[in-house]
Structure 1
Amino acid sequence: MAKGRKRARGERAGLSRARVLDAALALADRDGLAALSMRRLGAELGVEAMTLYHYVPNKDALLDGLVERVFEQAAPLTADGGRWRAALEEYAASLRQTLLRHPGVLPLAMSRPALPPQTLDAVEHGLRMLRDAGFPLGRALDVLNSLTVFAVGHTAVEAATARADEQGAPGSAAYLAQLDTGRFPLLAEAGRGGHGTDDAARFRHAIRALLAGFDAAPR
């Protein structure tokens, strides 16, 4: 730092945009998204709430940043065109795992597009990979959008189902196991045997089927 230059409060606290977003993510993970406020986040970081506005200009920017941070943790789309299916499968699996680690961000991921330059860089790499594999630009963008929307939506339902399973709510395996076997023999059998309850296996199968369909569809 140049001699005589006075540091801002954020610099004195050792803050950066990444540190602010990571602290917000940790707070949302621990206490829920409803607990996240600029005042609460400032307290977590040991600064006044006003200090945070140097890094995120408002609450909406903070929420957008959380989605951005989560998507940044997914596997990069940098493979060559010959490995596009493997790369997209890895990306989808990584996105699912990241969202499951941060379930508080799931509602945001479904409603707030993360389109900062860093995220757009990832999309650009994915489009280049698919173009190299022979996909027209429009179809390549369809593939990326469809895969991401499916991954986010499946993970959101998966997280909700996990809560239902814990409570024995309708739709849970425990609930299905108690159904009338005369009227619902297959559903009851699925509940008792735990059939179709492996979320990771179901997700993997669906992603592979989706990618196979993209590969076989006319381009």
Structure 2
Amino acid sequence: MAANRARGQRAGLTRQTVLEAAVRLVDREGMKALSMRRLGAELGVEAMTLYHHVPSKSALLDGMIEQVVAEAVPPEFGAATWREDLRAYAHALMAALAAHPHAVPLLLSRPALTPRNLRTMDAVVRMLHEAGFPLPRTLDILYSLTGFVVGHAAGQAGGVDGAGSLASLDPDAYPMLVRAARAAGGDAGEARFEYALDALLSGFEASRGRT
């Protein structure tokens, strides 16, 4: 174990460098390529050396989510209005997930309640509560917004284009669906994201101050 630790130290490994390498590997080759052995080879060390920085494969996966989500965290929640903060966070999270599409299934499958992610959640709850939302509602807003963004990102990562598929249906059998899809256009994903985000934020505004 001492030899492994020495090799890890000479390689300049830290938890951060291990997580960054894991995200790069998954970005390039997908989740199926990720193993401790493969990640160790990527970093030029034995797989056992990685356990000095991430205690388990589960901790590695949680840390990878932390890395991706960290890209979406604005410098300071509460610097603007709560709507502007939430809108900026939603867009930043969407951009981070679009940059790491192979990591999206991770966010759908595990909560990744790491200290760093929990601090981000705490900051959002504080910002919303100070804006006048009851504490239980702050969690409703946080989970609703995050679920919406991750769900949209999952559809994009999976190449789901509902409007494009609907537009090619038989117009005699499904006249209104086909008309609506063709009117929306072939690349309506961004506009649909904005529309739904606006609707969410308006709904949150309408509930502010209610218990």
Q: Same fold (TM over 0.5)?
A: yes
**In structure 1, what is the equivalent of residue 26 of structure 2?**
28
Q: Which amino acid aligns with 1:134?
A: G
Q: Which amino acid aligns with 2:199?
A: A
CA change 1:81–1:19 in 2 (3 A) is closer
Q: CA deviation at 1:43?
A: 0.6
For 1:71 and 1:204, the matched residues in 2 are separated by 20
Deviations 1:76-117, CA, capped at 9 Å, x for gaps: 273328600110011011111111111111111011112111
TM-score by length of 1: 0.86
Cα RMSD over matched residues? Answer: 2.0
Q: Which amino acid aligns with 1:65?
A: G
Deviates more, 1:196-205 or 1:150-159: 196-205
Q: Which amino acid aligns with 1:120?
A: L
CA change 1:129–1:23 in 2 (3 A) is same
Match for 2:133 among 135, 158, 163?
135
Q: CA deviation at 1:209?
A: 0.9
The residue matched to 1:123 in structure 2 has which SS?
helix
The residue matched to 1:56 in structure 2 has which SS?
coil
Aligned-residue sequence identity (percent) comes to: 53
**In structure 2, what is the equivalent of residue 201 of structure 1?**
191
The residue matched to 1:79 in structure 2 has which SS?
coil
The residue matched to 1:8 in structure 2 has which SS?
helix
Q: CA deviation at 1:52?
A: 0.5
Contact map agreement 1:177 1:191 (CA 8 A) in 2: yes
Where do 5+ consecutive residues of structure 1 fail to align? 1-6, 166-170
For 1:144 and 1:55, the matched residues in 2 are separated by 30
Q: Which amino acid aligns with 2:118?
A: L
Deviations 1:176-203, CA, capped at 9 Å, x for gaps: 3432221222333455555373212211
**In structure 1, what is the equivalent of residue 12 of structure 2?**
14
Contact map agreement 1:81 1:131 (CA 8 A) in 2: no
For 1:207 and 1:110, the matched residues in 2 are separated by 19
TM-score by length of 2: 0.89
**In structure 1, what is the equivalent of residue 92 of structure 2?**
94
- How many residue pairs match? The answer is 205
Match for 1:80 among 75, 78, 81?
78
Q: CA deviation at 1:126?
A: 0.9
Contact map agreement 2:170 2:178 (CA 8 A) in 1: yes
For 1:108 and 1:65, the matched residues in 2 are separated by 11
For 1:196 and 1:206, the matched residues in 2 are separated by 18
Deviates more, 1:77-86 or 1:41-50: 77-86
Q: How does 1:165-204 map to 2 (within 5 A)?
A: 171=162, 173=164, 175-192=165-182, 195=185, 197-204=187-194
For 1:82 and 1:32, the matched residues in 2 are separated by 37
Contact map agreement 1:74 1:95 (CA 8 A) in 2: yes
Where do 5+ consecutive residues of structure 2 fail to align? none
CA change 1:87–1:200 in 2 (3 A) is same
